[in-house]
Structure 1
């Protein structure tokens, strides 16, 4: 990993969900997350998310499975990829047991997670796995061989 690809500032997350209460719940769950520093921005629709992605850099997108008028991630994720977003996208849903969730890699999705599974530890794990940034010293033992 070169120094150009390593993040030294905050990890920027775009949370896309048509329920603002879900965004509030996420912010509350991760309020104690101090490392890495995370900035979460909210979009209520795929259209709004596309505008925000065109205007700013995001390191990670957490996308609600169902956003009206789209059916599910099989329609929304290709729209995000279609404008050139190459970062990680995670599909978030109340229920990820549907058979079509097995197709997620075919649509440009990096991972899926239940809304009830998102907390400080899971978000740290997702960031470790999918976002390039300056790893804190106290995490380096986790990565040594």
Structure 2
């Protein structure tokens, strides 16, 4: 699924993880990201994330695989889809090698990524793949044939 960012050159991302330190680590990793401008919000639980998604528009959700009291993405992603969120959802986990990760498309997940893999380049790639927004001039060469 591709979400369309409504703000020119700005992408609003919701990071859902029960460990606040993971959010802080992600903010540090992407601090130097100037294009696109990423507005990063945090939710500590699926309940909080559901409230935020009902109240505001997000272009992308990065969701920790395991959130209490839910078991894993097979429980949480259907909850997000159930309230009408149609944008891209990426499952983030320390270990994405489990066999059940092969089922991710069946649950409304667009992609999966290891926590150790998220950096500026990975986030830019994810945004290019899944979020439509005003592409900066210096990226246009990448898209021309």
Is the shorter-chain TM-score for this pair beyond 0.5, marking a shared fold?
yes
Root mean square deviation, CA, Å? 1.2
Change (3 A) 1:73 1:5: closer
Whether the aligned pair in 2 keeps the contact of 1:6 and 1:134 (CA below 8 Å) is: no
| 1:1-145 aligned within 5 A | 7-145=7-145
TM norm structure 1: 0.95
Query: Structure 2 regions of 5+ residues with no counterpart?
Result: none
Task: Output the CA distance in 1 between the equivalents of 2:120 and 2:34.
Answer: 10
User: Residue 38 of structure 1 aligns to a residue in which SS?
Assistant: strand
Task: Output the CA distance in 1 between the equivalents of 2:130 and 2:18.
Answer: 24
Task: Output the CA distance in 2 between the equivalents of 1:18 and 1:138.
Answer: 37
User: Residue 42 of structure 2 aligns to a residue in which SS?
Assistant: strand
Task: Output the CA distance in 2 between the equivalents of 1:46 and 1:58.
Answer: 15
Whether the aligned pair in 1 keeps the contact of 2:43 and 2:49 (CA below 8 Å) is: yes
Shift of 1:10: 1.6
Shift of 1:121: 0.2
Task: Output the CA distance in 2 between the equivalents of 1:5 and 1:126.
Answer: 14
Query: Structure 1 regions of 5+ residues with no counterpart?
Result: none
Larger proportion of strand: 2
> C-alpha deviations, 1:15-74, integer Å up to 9, x for none?
000000000000000000000000000000000000000000000000000000000000
How many residue pairs were aligned? 142
| Relative contact order, higher structure (CA 8 A, sep 6+) | 2
Change (3 A) 1:39 1:5: closer
Task: Output the CA distance in 1 between the equivalents of 2:6 and 2:78.
Answer: 26
